[in-house]
Chain A
Amino acid sequence: MPKGLREIRNRIKSVKSTGQITRAMQLVASSKMKKAQDAAKAGREYAELLGEILDTAAAKAGGLEHPLLTRREVRVRGVLIVTPDKGMCGALNSNLLRAALEIPGAAFVTLGRKGRQSLARAGRTLLADFPVTDKAAFAEVRPAAEFLLKAFLEGKVDTVEVLYAHFKNTLVQAPRLQRLLPADDLVGQARALREKLGLPEPKVEADERDMAFEPSAPEILSRLPALFYKVAVHQAVLEAKASEHSSRMVAMKAATDNSKKIAAALSLEYNKARQAAITQEILELTAGASQA
């Protein structure tokens, strides 16, 4: 067999086996995507209702001072960046990191290996790094949330923001920067959340009577914002996971389709070359026979 033919055959083989790998990755990503999307959707209602409760409580209590609700001069922005651990998910990582590098005066806390690696390489301030698995359980996210909460209360950072890949649908994910602390504009935040999720305005029953608090208003307002903040962080992580798996599935599907296309083109080339070789051989034989 001529050398050109063997080369083409080897390339077909390697393209096909790459295609098999990307197809397997696509299938894995699509099943994980389904789970992550369901988890993200299920968590929304809880986060939203909690926000509403905090909202009415803050409005009814009126003029209550709370460190988590008070805005102050911003010197250092605390940014929690949620990234995948792995690549192979299209432009998701590079989009997120580009958005991260555009934030001035930011100190980062990373959730996910890719963010840590790239920000460390870019020489940005890293406060801490936390791992998170695909399950993204509340308990896994809580250490990162509590770390930033503590930094905020101690004055190490003056805001807490979360940068993550917002899940619009399976094909569209965009980086989104959301400010969580200080939570001084709860009504606005709740409205932004509703717009984001496509939920209707809640029918808040008009009730002019004073609100009772049990055990007491300060007690509730010291616990609610912290819980709301943690749930909001968790929700962002769930969405980031849904985005990651969707993006990976789409990227792997494109790779699988490409490998099929390349394999088809190479097969055509291979068959042409083989036919040319056979024709050449026959020509040589007949030429040899007529000489004899």
Chain B
Amino acid sequence: MPLQVEIVTPDRRAYQGAADGVTLPTALGEVGILPGHIPLTAVIAAGEVAVTLGGKVTRLAVDQGFVRVVGDKVSVVTEAALDVAKIDLAAAEQAEARARQALEEAKGSRDPDPEGLLRLEQQLRFAAIQRMAKGRSSSSAD
């Protein structure tokens, strides 16, 4: 019986479907999940989720979050997720540069707003992850 994979973010359901296997970036390194895996709850680090179905691999860039594996059902909750094929590299790079600049300005200011800093750091992290994931998939396609 194949795995059921769902990836949910605060604004949408980013992925849903069956899979033969899935690779998750956890805080302790990559974890591969196959049908029959023992129940698992893990912290997800920002990185790339790879879902394999019938030899085809779907890659998604995800931000930090949590995953639960129970009875061949893999549920990922994360702050942001994006299909690697849909990543616009230029937009991601721009977003990264923008976030980095804003972050430096905010850190240099006398009265930094901690909430704003957290948000900028999240944007920066996710943009960097998108760039890395995209870079990897395009180099493997060559």
Contact = CB atoms under 8 A, between A and B. Distances in A.
A223 interface: yes
In this complex, which of B10, B72, B115 has the most chain A Cβ atoms within 10 angstroms of its Cβ? Answer: B10
B115 A143 contact: yes
B8 A138 contact: no
How many interface residues does chain B have, given as a range? 20 to 34
A214 B40 contact: yes
Interface string B106-140: 00000000011011000000000000000000000
Contacts of B26: 214
Interface in A132-154: 138-139, 142-143
Interface in B4-38: 6, 8-13, 26-28, 31, 38
A224 to B, nearest CB: 7
Contacts of B68: 52-53, 56-57
A279 to B, nearest CB: 68
Dominant secondary structure of chain A at its interface with chain B: helix
Given A49-B8, A56-B39, A214-B43, 12 more contacts: A49-B6, A53-B68, A53-B77, A57-B68, A60-B39, A205-B70, A212-B40, A214-B40, A214-B42, A215-B27, A220-B43, A231-B10
Interface of A: 39, 42-43, 45-46, 49-50, 52-53, 56-57, 60, 138-139, 142-143, 204-207, 209-215, 219-220, 223-224, 227, 231, 234
17 contacts: A42-B11, A43-B10, A46-B11, A52-B68, A53-B77, A56-B70, A57-B68, A142-B115, A143-B115, A205-B72, A207-B71, A209-B38, A211-B39, A212-B38, A212-B39, A213-B42, A234-B10
